[in-house]
């Protein structure tokens, strides 16, 4: 019996290897830098497996779009144009910016629309990312590959002798997996775990890395699975950065857990490896207790997958010759972080993971499923707050908050582990545990537009495990409802630039939307810089509506213009 | 096994969430029953040449290949040559291809009647390209994505759906594809049952206005 069984298994394994066993070269996303970024959101398709192409979405045509390089201190202007079949939003994960620029579920970009957010980059040098955040559609659109990395540079990081030649000794790795149906389409419903590993969108990825110190920027871009990462020879590697910046000093580890939404930068020393030798970065996800996202043993079904409860390769590394100016040693210290402490916090909040029992309501927070028009928390500008997230529930989660980077100060299990160091915007929350962080909510008050806090498991977020907060500035008087201020558009008709003439003083624009004659939104312009007029040269001639919302009163007025 | 898998595609109780992109409303579309064998009502839609066209305009037709497609969908665009070839091949046998655009032309500027005319001309369509302006025909067929193809055949003097799904199973490599539509039409022309009568359509979701 046993003999027959193993024989069958062998045939299966061989057959699988013929189809999936070859390594494919890791896709290193293209790069964009400067202060003006043009991102086109498109429907496309890719030959991922033999047979039919897989329908994907992509930024600038690729499943997993360009890596955006920002310099701290620059003001970056994004020009997002959607050619998608469906509406979407694009969220700048980890960025500290005004809520109206944040790309949360309220900033819906319909098909054919241009959205132009901008902000001053204040984040520390680290690895961030952008991805869709349309409520109830996040899993589907993230699964299709809409998203990309953001790499922030700053002077402190730039002064350190760290690998930073992108694609050579500084490699971004977006870890995800996918399940395919019989026609090779991604499965996006009733599925939480993929059956096949995709690294930067590449199945069975391999990369050549030089025989020197190499930096890997690892992002868990999964729907639910956490990764317990390590190298196949159990070598020590060094954590140099987490979500929101460098840690104080490189931390040696042999394993690190990266939860959904989290980023980690590591240094791995390949100087003692032989050129031509190989090494695997693996997910040691076998044998975890139930509740570890990735530990459920079923090979199929909604919560199972072929990769669950197994050890699998995330990246196959071929060691190649060193570069001409290799980094050969590691700085002993990196940065001197000053963190908020519990004593700094003037407001304490608790958030409980609730519901989500099999057959019951989906997971939510504080028994309150997400509602687009409900603000769950109001935070005063410049307040340092302490939040305790408690998960006395059936499953692990990844808690993410927009606007801020926080410091985890305590946990009830595992203490504050290596993966919790540094500035964070996501925390992995195991079952039956609490985690407490402190954060300062500064710079950007907007009583109108909320930020999100939520579970970063897309199926949980889509299911309502999300809340909203506004940051308010009580030092300025909130104006009573008053008459909208008058403005006029000139020249009208207009060909290239449309100017706005304001009646009266202190006129600030909160939002401009331009709609065509049948009501399609063509431009979404949060806080547009209108001094030099609005560029309408790309519009097709015709009749348009300009809907202007004032900053102070948030009153909205609509006027018409003709594009020649 | 095979019958079951058809069933699961055509009869699965699939809860499809639609975010109606223009009006922001959500609705649930419940696909409950197999549509194979369902009757097809006569329709009359405007063609890119300005004429109204319906099934009854083809007096001696044995069957139709009805393809829901559109202008903007990258995956649908891959099938242009195949649609011309299918029509060329089968119209002499009394099986005519009709392309229907049920995409919301308010939502998508690309789907205007003028742009349909342009596309029909530039791609040298040898078949009618009909605008389903109020989406009634697409809704009645339960067309899911562009392209979504149907083979309809006369049974007891009534047009009925005999195949629903993809045109074939490989968008970019037609030479490697399993030709679902051709297989279905060939079988029907020989008075045989269609063996694979239902496959999932793959491409861009058609959103129906409420
Ligand atoms: Cu969760």
Is B172 in the A-facing interface, judged by CB distances under 8 Å? Answer: yes
Residue A413 three-state SS: coil
Give, rounded to a whole angstrom, the gap between the first and last alpha carbons of chain B: 37
In order of A62, A490, B149, the CA distances from A30 in angstroms are: 9, 40, 37
**Distant-in-sequence, close-in-space partners of A477: CB < 8 Å, separation ≥ 6:** none
Distance from CA of A114 to the nearest CA of B (A): 14
Judge if A413 and A545 occupy the same domain: no
Tell how far the Cα of A429 is from the centroid of ligand 1, in angstroms: 9
Whether B176 is in a domain gets the answer yes
Evaluate the CA torsion angle A42, A46, A48, A54 in order and state its sign. positive
* Minimal-distance CA residue of chain A relative to B14: A189
Give chain B's largest Cα–Cα span. 48
Give the closest-approach CA distance of B123 to chain A in angstroms: 20
Contacts of B207 in chain A (CB under 8 A): 86
Interface probe, candidates B103, B171, B206, chain A, greatest A C-beta count within 10 A: B171
Decide if B210 is inside a domain: no
Closest CA to A270 of A330, A224, A226, A314: A330
**Pair A207, A314 in one domain:** yes
Contact B207 A86 (CB under 8 A): yes
Residue A185 lies in a domain: yes
Q: Is residue B185 part of a domain?
A: yes
**With helix as H, strand as E and coil as C, how does A290-305 read?**
CCCCCCCCCCCCCCCC
Verify whether the Cβ–Cβ distance B170 to A136 is below 8 Å: no
The alpha-carbon gap from B90 to the nearest alpha carbon of chain A, in Å, equals 25
Chain B residues whose beta carbon lies within 8 Å of the beta carbon of residue A44 = 74
Cβ-based contacts of B75 with chain A (< 8 Å): 43, 45, 53, 55
Residue of B nearest to A185 (CA): B202
* CB < 8 Å from A in window 67-86 of B: 72-75
Q: Which domain CATH number covers A466?
A: 2.60.40.420
d(CA A262, CA A221): 8
List the CATH number of the domain containing B37.
3.40.30.10
Residue B83 lies in a domain: yes
Whether residue A137 is found in the same domain as residue A272 = no
Q: What was the pLDDT predicted at A504?
A: 73
Q: What is the span of the domain harbouring residue B143? A: 2-205
Residue A412 lies in a domain: yes
Q: What residue numbers bound the domain in which A108 lies?
A: 34-154
Q: How far apart are CA A508 and CA A3, in angstroms?
A: 78
Strand order in the sheet with A433-441: A364-365, A347-354, A383-391, A433-441, A407-411
A65 in the same domain as A181: no
Is residue A423 left, alpha or beta, with left meaning phi > 0 and alpha meaning psi from -120 to 50?
A: beta
Best mutation target among B21, B133, B201 (most A Cβ atoms within 10 Å) is B21
Query: Could you report how far apart the first and last alpha carbons of chain A are, in Å?
Result: 81
End of a domain among A271, A305, A331? A331
Which residues of chain B have a CB within 8 Å of the CB of A138? Answer: none
* Separation between Cα atoms, residue A299 and residue B159, nearest integer Å: 44
Number of folded domains that form chain B:
1
With CA atoms as reference, report the closest residue to B163 among B12, B34, B11, B28: B34
A430 Cα to the center of ligand 1, angstroms: 10
CA distances from A233 to A23, A40, A211, A317 (A): 20, 42, 16, 12
Q: Which of residues 118-147 of B touch A (CB under 8 A)?
A: none
Q: A480 in a domain, yes or no?
A: no
Domain assignment of residue B106, yes or no: yes
**pTM of this structure:** 0.91
* Local structure of B140: helix, strand or coil: helix
For A378-394, what is each residue's pLDDT tens digit?
999 999 999 999 999 88
List of chain B residues whose C-beta atoms are within 8 Å of the C-beta of residue A47: 172
Domain contains A431: yes
Nearest CB neighbour to B73, from listed A51, A85, A181: A85
Whether A207 and A256 map to the same domain: the answer is: yes
Judged by CB atoms closer than 8 Å, whether chains meet at B202 and A86 is answered as no
Closest-CA distance, B52 to chain A, in angstroms, reads: 25
Domain count, chain A: 4
Task: Assess if residue A478 is contained within a domain.
Answer: no
Of A134, A182, A518, the CB nearest to B106: A518
Q: In what order do the strands lie in the sheet with A377-380?
A: A377-380, A466-472, A451-455, A397-401, A426-429
Contact at CB, A51 and B170, closer than 8 angstroms:
yes
Q: Please state whether beta strands A213-220 and A170-178 pair in parallel, antiparallel, or not at all (unpaired).
A: parallel
CA A335, A341, A346, A350 torsion: positive or negative? positive
In angstroms, what is the span from residue A293 Cα to ligand 1's centroid?
10
For residues A253 and A283, membership in a common domain is answered with yes
Contacts of residue B196 in chain A, CB cutoff 8 Å? none
Q: Which residues pair with A472 in a beta bridge?
A: A380
Q: Which chain A residues touch B74 with a CB distance below 8 Å?
A: 42-45
Which among A285, A312, A331 is the end of a domain? Answer: A331
| DSSP summary character for residue A186 | B
- Cβ contact B172–A137 (<8 Å): no
Tens digit of each residue's pLDDT, chain A (564 residues)? 333 333 333 333 333 333 445 899 999 999 999 999 999 999 999 999 999 999 999 999 889 999 999 999 999 999 999 999 999 999 999 999 999 999 999 999 999 999 999 999 999 999 999 999 999 999 999 999 999 999 999 999 999 999 999 999 999 999 999 999 999 999 999 999 999 999 999 999 999 999 999 999 999 999 999 999 999 999 999 999 999 999 999 999 999 999 999 999 999 999 999 999 999 999 999 887 666 776 678 888 888 899 998 999 999 999 999 999 999 999 999 999 999 999 999 999 999 999 998 788 999 999 999 999 999 999 999 999 999 999 998 888 999 999 999 999 999 986 666 678 899 999 999 888 999 999 999 999 999 999 999 999 999 999 999 999 999 998 876 555 567 778 899 999 999 999 999 887 778 899 999 999 999 999 999 999 998 899 999 999 999 999 999 998 889 999 999 999
A263 lies in the same domain as A346: no
Of the residues A448, A472, A496, the one at which a domain ends: A472
Residues whose CB is less than 8 angstroms from the CB of residue B110 and which lie 6 or more positions away in sequence, other chains included: A112, B70, B71, B72
Count CB-CB contacts under 10 A for residue A395. 22
Residue A76, classed as helix, strand or coil, is strand
Same domain, A136 and A169: no
**Residues in A touching B22 (Cβ below 8 Å):** 110, 519
Do A462 and A495 belong together in one domain? no
Residues A323-333 pLDDT 10s: 999 999 999 99
Instruction: Tell me the per-residue pLDDT of A98-126, one tens digit each, with 9 for 90 and over.
Output: 999 999 999 999 999 999 999 999 999 99
Are residue A316 and residue A382 in the same domain, yes or no?
Answer: no
Backbone angles phi and psi of A268, in degrees to 5:
-125, 135
The pairs formed by B6-12 with CB atoms below 8 angstroms and a separation of 24 or more are B6/B34, B6/B196, B6/B197, B6/B198, B7/B34, B9/B165, B9/B198, B9/B199, B9/B200, B10/B34, B10/B35, B10/B36, B10/B164, B10/B198
Gap from CA of A393 to ligand 1 centroid (Å) = 10
Q: Which of B109, B170, B200 sits opposite A520 (nearest CB)?
A: B109
Q: Tell me which residue of A461, A518, A136, A107 sits closest to B20, measured CA to CA.
A: A136
- Best mutation target, A183, A185, A189, to test chain B (most B CBs within 10 A): A183
Residues 186-205 on B with a CB inside 8 Å of A are: 199-200, 202-205
Chain B residues inside the 8 Å CB shell of A185: 200, 202
Q: Which two tokens stand for residue B102?
A: 């049920």
A21 and A46 assigned to the same domain: no
Among the listed residues A266, A199, A221, the one whose alpha carbon sits nearest the alpha carbon of residue A91: A221
Both A148 and A166 in one domain: the answer is no
Are A410 and A372 contacting, i.e. CB atoms less than 8 angstroms apart?
Answer: no
How close A52 comes to chain B (CA, Å)?
4
SS (H, E, C) A190-222: CCCCCCEEEECCEECEEEEEECCEEEEEEEECC
Q: Domain for residue A189, yes or no?
A: yes
Across the beta sheet with A256-258, the strand order is: A24-25, A205-210, A311-320, A278-284, A227-231, A256-258
Residue A549 in domain: yes
Residues 6 or more apart whose CB falls under 8 angstroms from that of A271 comprise: A211, A212, A213, A322, A328
Q: What is the CATH number of the domain that holds A508?
A: 2.60.40
| Chain position carrying tokens 């240094």 | A267
ipTM score here?
0.88
In a domain, A123, yes or no: yes
Residue B122, domain member (yes or no): yes
Please judge whether B74 and A53 are an interchain contact, meaning their C-beta atoms are less than 8 angstroms apart. Answer: no
Report the distance separating Cα A238 and Cα A252, nearest Å. Answer: 4
Residues of B in contact with A51 (CB under 8 A): 169-170, 176
Chain A hits for B101, Cβ within 8 Å: none
Helix residue ranges, H only, chain B: 2-10, 74-77, 80-90, 113-122, 136-141, 180-189
């Amino acid at each position: 019996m046993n003999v027959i069984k193993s024989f069958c298994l062998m045939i299966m394994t061989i057959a699988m290897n013929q189809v999936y066993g070859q390594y494919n070269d890791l896709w290193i996303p293209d790069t964009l830098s400067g202060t003006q970024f043009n991102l086109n959101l498109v429907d496309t398709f890719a030959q991922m497996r033999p047979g039919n192409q897989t329908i994907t979405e992509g930024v600038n045509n690729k499943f997993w779009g360009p890596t955006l390089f920002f310099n701290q201190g620059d003001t970056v202007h994004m020009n997002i144009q959607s050619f998608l079949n469906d509406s979407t939003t694009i969220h700048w994960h980890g960025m500290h910016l005004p809520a109206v620029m944040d790309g949360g579920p309220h900033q819906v970009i319909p098909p054919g629309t241009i959205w132009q957010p901008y902000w001053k980059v204040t984040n520390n040098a680290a690895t961030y990312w952008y991805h869709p955040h349309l409520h109830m559609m996040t899993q589907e659109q993230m699964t299709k590959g809409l998203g990309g990395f953001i790499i922030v540079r700053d002077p402190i990081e730039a002064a350190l002798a760290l690998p930073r030649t992108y694609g050579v000794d500084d490699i971004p790795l977006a870890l995800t997996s996918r399940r395919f149906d019989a026609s090779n389409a991604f499965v996006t419903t009733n599925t939480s775990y993929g059956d096949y590993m995709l690294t930067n969108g590449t199945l069975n990825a391999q990369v050549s890395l030089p025989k020197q110190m190499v930096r890997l920027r690892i992002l868990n871009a999964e729907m639910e699975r956490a990764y317990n990462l390590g190298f196949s020879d159990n070598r020590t590697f060094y954590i140099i950065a987490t979500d929101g910046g460098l840690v104080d000093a490189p931390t040696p580890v042999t394993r690190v857990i990266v939860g959904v939404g989290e980023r980690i930068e590591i240094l791995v020393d390949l100087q003692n490896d032989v050129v031509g030798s190989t090494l695997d970065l693996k997910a040691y996800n076998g044998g975890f207790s139930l509740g570890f996202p990735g530990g459920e043993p079923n090979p199929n079904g909604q919560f199972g997958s072929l990769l669950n409860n197994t050890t699998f390769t995330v990246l196959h590394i071929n060691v190649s010759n060193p570069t001409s100016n290799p980094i050969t040693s590691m700085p002993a210290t990196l940065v001197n972080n000053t963190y908020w402490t519990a004593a700094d916090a003037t407001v304490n909040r608790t958030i409980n993971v609730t519901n989500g029992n099999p057959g019951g309501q989906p997971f939510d927070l504080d028994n309150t499923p997400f509602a687009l028009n409900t603000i769950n928390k109001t935070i005063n500008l410049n307040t340092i707050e302490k939040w305790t997230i408690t998960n006395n529930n059936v499953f692990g989660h990844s808690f993410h908050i927009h606007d801020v980077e926080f410091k985890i100060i305590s946990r009830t299990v595992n203490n504050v582990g290596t993966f919790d160091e540094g500035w964070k915007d996501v925390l992995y929350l195991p079952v039956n545990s609490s985690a407490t962080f402190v954060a300062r909510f500064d710079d950007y008050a907007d009583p109108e537009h909320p930020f999100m806090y939520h579970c970063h498991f897309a199926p949980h977020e889509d299911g309502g495990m999300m809340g909203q907060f506004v940051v308010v500035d009580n030092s300025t008087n909130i104006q009573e409802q008053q008459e909208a201020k008058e403005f006029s558009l000139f020249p009208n008709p207009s060909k290239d630039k449309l100017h706005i003439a304001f009646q009266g003083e202190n006129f600030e624009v909160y939002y401009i939307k331009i709609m065509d004659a049948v009501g399609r939104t063509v431009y979404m312009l949060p806080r547009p810089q209108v001094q030099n007029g609005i560029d309408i040269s790309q519009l097709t001639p015709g009749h348009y509506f300009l809907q202007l919302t004032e900053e102070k009163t948030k009153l909205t007025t609509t006027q018409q213009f003709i594009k020649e | 096994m095979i019958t079951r898998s058809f069933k699961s595609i055509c009869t699965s109780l699939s809860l499809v969430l639609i975010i109606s992109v223009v009006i922001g409303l959500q609705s649930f579309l419940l696909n409950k029953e197999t549509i194979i064998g369902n009757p097809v009502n006569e329709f009359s839609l405007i063609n890119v040449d300005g004429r109204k066209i319906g099934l009854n305009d083809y007096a001696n037709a044995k069957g139709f290949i009805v393809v829901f497609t559109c202008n903007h969908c990258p995956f649908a665009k891959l099938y242009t040559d195949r649609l011309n070839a299918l029509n060329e091949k089968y119209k002499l046998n009394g099986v005519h291809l009709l392309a229907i655009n049920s995409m919301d032309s308010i939502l998508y500027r690309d789907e205007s009647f003028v742009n349909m005319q342009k596309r029909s001309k530039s791609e040298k369509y040898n078949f009618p390209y009909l605008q389903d302006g109020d989406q009634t025909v697409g809704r009645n067929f339960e067309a899911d994505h562009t392209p979504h193809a149907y083979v309809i055949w006369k049974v007891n003097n009534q047009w009925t759906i005999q195949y629903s799904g993809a045109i074939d199973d490989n968008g970019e490599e037609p030479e490697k594809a399993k030709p679902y539509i051709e297989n279905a039409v060939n079988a029907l022309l020989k008075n045989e049952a269609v063996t694979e009568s239902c496959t999932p359509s793959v491409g861009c979701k058609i959103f129906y206005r409420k």
